[in-house]
Amino acid sequence: MSSILLKRRRHRYEAVLELAPLIDVIFLLLIFFMVSTTFVATKDIPIKLPESISADAESKLETLVITIDARGGFAVNGSVLSASGADEIADALLQRKQNRGVTSVPVRIDGHENVDYQFVIRAMDACRKAGFTDIRLSTVKSVN
């Protein structure tokens, strides 16, 4: 009887996991995903801001106006600012607000159509720091 048991043990198949087909499938999936993926080399997305029609109808006496030129230069009510940080813009807004003697003043941000959007965000951040809540955006083709 012991000889029969030995024969069965010798012919018993062992389960073996073959890695070659698995590796082939993984490489095929990798190649498929690499070919079907598109790679974008640009860093920023160009945003074409719409031109505003209603901004010209507002009275400039009632509104503080932040003007942003195409290169990112700032002006508040026509006065060009030497520094273009959010704190400097906020200080200029607060100074103009105190000169008017009113508590609630709307702010309009006039941005050149080709200005980087980071400058518009900086102006909005300055308005928030200065405590302004009524902020309007407009796009202009040329800044005077």
Q: Which amino acid is at 61?
A: L
- Which band of pLDDT confidence, cut at 50, 70 and 90, is reported for residue 57? low
What pLDDT does 100 receive?
Answer: 66
**Residues 106/135, Cβ–Cβ less than 8 Å:** yes
- Return d(Cα 111, Cα 144) in angstroms, integer: 11
Would you say the pTM of this structure is higher than 0.85?
no
Q: What residues have CB less than 8 Å from 138, skipping those under 6 apart? A: 52, 55, 108, 109, 110, 111
Q: What's phi and psi for 39, nearest 5 deg? A: -110, 130
- Specify the DSSP class assigned to residue 118: H
Is pLDDT of 28 > 90? yes
Q: What residues have CB less than 8 Å from 114, skipping those under 6 apart? A: 70
The listed CATH number (3.90.1150.10, 3.30.420.270, 2.60.40.10, 3.30.200.20) that belongs to domain 54-140: 3.30.420.270
Residue boundaries of the structural domains of the chain: 2-36, 54-140
